[in-house]
Structure 1
Amino acid sequence: MSFEQLFADVARVIEGVGVVIMTVGLVSVLLRYAYAAASDRTRTGSYERLRVNIGRVILLGLEILIVGDIVRTIIVEASVQSVLVLGLIVVIRTVLSFALEVEISGRWPWQQTPHTTPPQAVQSPETLEEK
């Protein structure tokens, strides 16, 4: 097995992990939403929590997919065309990440204060039960 083939396989594994995280995360979030929506105690705010949690799952998956793309481009397909394609992919995913972050938190990432607590509607049912 050559060096390039080894890292091509590594890049595929990293990308596969990103896809698995998004798939398993989505199923988990949807199951938690169904449970919360069915319960009278946690029904309020369950849709908002669903949207926030789906956004978080997508953000995590996108970050891991970017790592896979970087490994593939830099080590396996080091050409000007592949670097330009990587740049375009990173720009698109970065814009998506910013849009999801704004959707989740309601503000730009650089407007975050270091010690903010999430709004009541975003907290998990477990956190609400502790109060």
Structure 2
Amino acid sequence: MHHTLPPAVAWTQRIAVASLLGLIVLGLAWELFLAPTGGGMLALKVLPLTLALAGLLKRRLYTYRWVSLLVWLYFAEGVVRATTEHGLSAQLALLEVVLALALFAACALHVRSRLRGAKEATA
């Protein structure tokens, strides 16, 4: 039996996955090619994001919850680097901030929609 997702759950999942993938690609490109720091070792910062991808794709509520907390580390890094670095690095940091905010909003709205749907289903 095929179950159709409520629209809010479907679009928040798409935004969450897209922004998560954006952060992964940005982190790798930034630290390996575009403006590397630390000999490329900072590219490892995307590892926790890669671990979250499967959970977001499978719509695991627990994953959406912990990603909504984890993403603030990337937001903070983006804010610090946007205000302390110049040129391309500062622009990449601003992109990181935007992607982190999109990921947080999508995860928060996804959890809210799912919990509201569960509450309505039991009522």
TM > 0.5 between the two?
no
Give the TM-score category using the shorter length: 0.3 to 0.5
TM-score with structure 1 setting the length: 0.39
- Structure with greater proportional helix content: 2
